[in-house]
Amino acid sequence: MLAAVPLLAIVIVIANALAFAGDVAMSQPMFTVPLPSGGALPLTVGDGLILLGLILLYVEMFKATRTQSSTILDHVLSLGVFIVALVEFLILPRFGNGVFLSLVVMCLFDVVAGFTVTISAARRDFGPMREERMP
């Protein structure tokens, strides 16, 4: 049953915790990464959330290839996470930033790609049997 939990919900929950905590801004630097060129890349809290979201979206794409009954529940829950994130983005001012918009778009990709991959996998697995012809 835990396999049906959408992983992007974790990032949305973290973003909610940070937004409602009030003292952590998405633009607050977490640390700086030195680059071989001699430059430095400062990573912010928002950058970390987006990177975590991308990693979890990658895992969600693998989860979408399953053809089990729990896959439908996973897609429905992913749709719910997207709707909640979209409503927060549109209604609540503290979520009106580029970082949260990126997370909302990741949730949308999860929903659309999840349904698309599942339908394609189901067609492949349960499609009509084709006869192989001998030449």
Structural domain contains residue 135: no
CA distance 128 to 132: 13
Tell me how far apart the alpha carbons of residues 114 and 105 are, in angstroms, rounded to a whole number: 14
In this structure, is residue 79 part of a structural domain? yes
114 belongs to a structural domain: yes
The residue segments making up the domain with residue 105 are 2-126
Is 87 among the domain residues? yes
In this prediction, residue 14 carries a pLDDT of 93
- Is residue 104 in a domain? yes
Helix 70-91 / helix 45-63 crossing angle, nearest 10 deg: 150
Q: pLDDT at position 119, please?
A: 78
What's the rounded Cα separation, in Å, for the pair 119 and 115? 6
Instruction: Identify the burial level of 42 via C-beta atoms within 10 angstroms of its C-beta, where 0-12 means exposed, 13-18 middle and 19 or more buried.
Output: exposed
**Other Cβ atoms within 10 Å of 117 Cβ, number:** 18
Overall number of domains in the chain: 1
Q: Do the domain assignments include residue 95?
A: yes
Is 118 inside a domain boundary? Answer: yes
Residue 133 lies in a domain: no
Q: Residue-wise pLDDT tens for the chain (135 aa)?
A: 567 789 999 999 999 999 888 777 888 889 999 999 999 999 999 999 999 999 999 999 888 877 677 788 888 999 999 999 999 999 999 899 999 999 999 999 999 998 888 777 767 666 565 555 556
Q: What pLDDT is recorded for position 7?
A: 93
